[in-house]
Chains A and B, each alone.
Chain A
Amino acid sequence: EVQLQESGPGLVKPSQSLSLTCSVTGYSITSNYWGWIRKFPGNKMEWMGYISYSGSTSYNPSLKSRISITRDTSKNQFFLQLNSVTTEDTATYYCASSFRRVWVYWGQGVMVTVSS
C-alpha cells in the first residue's frame, strides 16, 4: 500500500522559506504524479503543484513565482519549498499521489504556522 508522510518545521517566520519533505513507501516516485495540497484555516483547499514520474513539474499559477517541488529518487522522497511566506500561508500541508488524474493517497498532513 502506498503511504506518504510529511515532515518539516511547524513554525516559519514571515519572509522566510517553508520547506517540507514527503517520504513515500510502498510505491516508487518514478511512477505517477506526486503533489502538494494545502488546507487553510476555514477549510479552503488549494492544489499547489506536482512533480511527475519523469521529474517534470506543474504549479498553481497563484504560487508560480514562489514554489518549487523537487525530488530525491534514491530516498523516494519529494520536497516542497515555498518562498517569501506570509501569514496567509498558514495551513495544513498534505502530500499526495495521483493515480489516473485523481489524488488518491494522502499523507496525514503537517500544520505550518507562519508567525514571527
Chain B
Amino acid sequence: DIQMTQSPPSLSASLGDKVTITCQASQNINKYIAWYQQKPGKAPRLLIRYTSTLESGTPSRFSGSGSGRDYSFSISNVESEDIASYYCLQYDNLPWTFGGGTKLELK
C-alpha cells in the first residue's frame, strides 16, 4: 500500500492568512492526488483532483501543486467558512489511501 504522510496534523490561522498542507507519498503517485474538505458531521467534499484541477464550485483561493512523491495544498486568504479538516487521497494505485488529515482552526 502507498502511505500518505500528511502534515501538519493541525494548523492555526488568522482570517486572510495563507496556509499550506503537504502530503508525501511513499512512492511516485504520478499526480493522482485529490484533496477533500470535511466539516464536523458532514460528508467530505472534493475540492481538487489530479494535483491541481479545481472541482466545479471550488473557490479559486484553493490551489494544489506537486509531482512525484511530494504534493501541497494551499488556501490563500483563509475565510471563516474554510475552518474544517482537510485530507489528501492518492488514487494512483489500489488500495486508495488517505493522509491522516489536517485540522484547520482559527487563531
Contacts and interface: CB of A to CB of B under 8 A. Distances in A.
Contact of A106 (B1, B32, B34, B44): B44
Contacts of A62: 1, 95
Interface residues of A, number: 19
Given A43-B85, A102-B91, A108 B97 contact: no
A48 to B, nearest CB: 9
Nearest to B103: A43
B contact residues, range = 20 to 34
Interface in B36-75: 41-46, 49, 55
A100 B43 CA distance: 19
Nearest to B96: A47
Interface in B74-107: 85, 87, 89, 91, 94-98, 100-101
A102 B100 contact: no
| Dominant SS among interface residues on chain B | loop
Given A45-B101, A58-B94, A106 B89 contact: no
Nearest to B85: A43
Contacts of B85: 43
A109 B40 CA distance: 11
A60 interface: yes
Contacts of A60: 95
A60 B1 CA distance: 10
B42 A108 contact: yes
A47 B34 contact: no
Nearest to A46: B98
Nearest to A6: B43
A103 B44 CA distance: 9
17 contacts: A43-B85, A44-B100, A44-B101, A45-B101, A46-B98, A47-B95, A47-B97, A62-B1, A62-B95, A102-B49, A102-B89, A103-B34, A103-B44, A103-B46, A103-B96, A104-B55, A106-B43
Interface of B: 1, 32, 34, 41-46, 49, 55, 85, 87, 89, 91, 94-98, 100-101
